[in-house]
Structure 1
Amino acid sequence: MHPLDVRHAVHTLPHQLEVWGDQVDRIVFTVDTRRSKSGRYSGNAYDESRRGLFALLEAIARQSSKAEIAEVDYSPAALESVRQRYFSTSRAYPEKAFDGGPFHAYFYGLLKADAEYVVHMDSDMLFGGGSQVWLEEAIGWLRTTPDTLFAGPLPGPPRADGTLGDLHGSFPGLTGIRPPERLAAAYPAYRFRSVSTRIFVIDQARFDASIGALDLVRPNLRRRIRARLFRQSPLSMPAEEILTAAMMSKGLSRIDFLGSGAGIYSLHPPYRTDAFYRELPHLISRIVAGAIPEAQRGDYDVNSSMFDWTEALRQKTAGRRLARAARALLSS
Structure 2
Amino acid sequence: MHPFDAPHVVHTLPHQLRAWSGQVDRVLVTVDTRLANAGRYRADRYEEAREALFAQLEAMRKDHPALVVDPVSYDGKTRAEIGRAFFSTTPDWPDRAFDGGPFYVYFHGLHRADADYVLHMDSDMLFGGGSQTWIDEAVALLERRPDALFVGPFPGPPRADGSLDPAVHAGFPGLSGVAAPVRLDEPAPAYRFSTVSTRIFMMDMRRFAARVGTLDLVRPDLKRRLRARAYDETPRSMPAEEVLSANLAARGLSRIDYLGEGAGMYSLHPPYRMPEFYARLPELIARIERGDIPEGQRGDFDINASMIDWSVALEAKRPAVRYRKALQQLLRVQAGRFRRA
- Normalised by the length of structure 1, the TM-score is 0.98
Where does 1:281-320 land on structure 2 (aligned, <5 Å)? 281-320=282-321
Find the counterpart in structure 2 of residue 327 from structure 1: 328
Shift of 1:239: 0.4
- Is the Cα contact below 8 Å between 1:173 and 1:217 reproduced in 2? no
Asked if residue 147 in structure 1 is aligned to residue 163 in structure 2, the reply is: no
CA RMSD of aligned residues (A): 1.0
**Which digits, 9 at most, give the CA deviation of each residue in 1:138-169, with x for residues without a partner?**
00111111111000000011101122112346
Asked if residue 279 in structure 1 is aligned to residue 280 in structure 2, the reply is: yes
Find the aligned partners of 1:109 and 1:75 in 2 and give their Cα distance: 15
- Normalised by the length of structure 2, the TM-score is 0.96
Asked if residue 85 in structure 1 is aligned to residue 85 in structure 2, the reply is: yes
Where does 1:54-93 land on structure 2 (aligned, <5 Å)? 54-93=54-93
- Name the SS for the 2:256 alignment partner: strand
Q: How many residues align?
A: 332
Q: State the AA in 2 paired with 1:308.
A: D
Where does 1:171-182 land on structure 2 (aligned, <5 Å)? 171-182=172-183
**Which digits, 9 at most, give the CA deviation of each residue in 1:269-290, with x for residues without a partner?**
0000001000000000011111
Shift of 1:180: 0.7
Shift of 1:75: 1.4
**Which digits, 9 at most, give the CA deviation of each residue in 1:234-288, with x for residues without a partner?**
0000001111011000000111011001100100000000010000000000111
- Is the Cα contact below 8 Å between 1:173 and 1:220 reproduced in 2? no
Where does 1:29-68 land on structure 2 (aligned, <5 Å)? 29-68=29-68
Shift of 1:64: 2.1
- Is the Cα contact below 8 Å between 2:169 and 2:180 reproduced in 1? no
**Which digits, 9 at most, give the CA deviation of each residue in 1:14-54, with x for residues without a partner?**
00000000000010000000110111101122111101111
- Is the Cα contact below 8 Å between 1:147 and 1:253 reproduced in 2? yes
Runs of 4 or more above 4 Å deviation: none
- Name the SS for the 1:202 alignment partner: strand
- Name the SS for the 2:168 alignment partner: coil
Find the counterpart in structure 2 of residue 94 from structure 1: 94
- Is the Cα contact below 8 Å between 1:87 and 1:213 reproduced in 2? yes
Find the aligned partners of 1:91 and 1:169 in 2 and give their Cα distance: 33
Find the counterpart in structure 2 of residue 116 from structure 1: 116
**Which digits, 9 at most, give the CA deviation of each residue in 1:190-225, with x for residues without a partner?**
111110000000000000000000011100000000
Find the counterpart in structure 2 of residue 4 from structure 1: 4
Q: State the AA in 2 paired with 1:191.
A: R
- Is the Cα contact below 8 Å between 1:153 and 1:256 reproduced in 2? yes
Find the aligned partners of 1:97 and 1:307 in 2 and give their Cα distance: 31
Asked if residue 20 in structure 1 is aligned to residue 20 in structure 2, the reply is: yes
**Which digits, 9 at most, give the CA deviation of each residue in 1:94-133, with x for residues without a partner?**
0000011100000000011000000000000000000000
- Name the SS for the 1:30 alignment partner: strand
Find the aligned partners of 1:141 and 1:248 in 2 and give their Cα distance: 20
Find the counterpart in structure 2 of residue 257 from structure 1: 258
- Name the SS for the 2:62 alignment partner: helix
Find the aligned partners of 2:100 and 2:181 in 1 and give their Cα distance: 29
Shift of 1:67: 1.1
Identity %: 55
Shift of 1:79: 1.5
Find the counterpart in structure 1 of residue 338 from structure 2: none
Find the aligned partners of 2:224 and 2:182 in 1 and give their Cα distance: 32
Find the aligned partners of 1:58 and 1:150 in 2 and give their Cα distance: 31
Find the aligned partners of 2:37 and 2:267 in 1 and give their Cα distance: 31
Q: 1:170 to 1:5 in 2, by over 3 A?
A: farther
Find the aligned partners of 1:158 and 1:113 in 2 and give their Cα distance: 30
Find the counterpart in structure 2 of residue 229 from structure 1: 230
Find the aligned partners of 1:18 and 1:306 in 2 and give their Cα distance: 22
Q: 1:178 to 1:27 in 2, by over 3 A?
A: same
- Name the SS for the 1:157 alignment partner: coil
Structure 1: where are the runs of 5+ without partners?
A: none
Structure 2: where are the runs of 5+ without partners?
A: 334-341
- Is the Cα contact below 8 Å between 1:187 and 1:260 reproduced in 2? yes
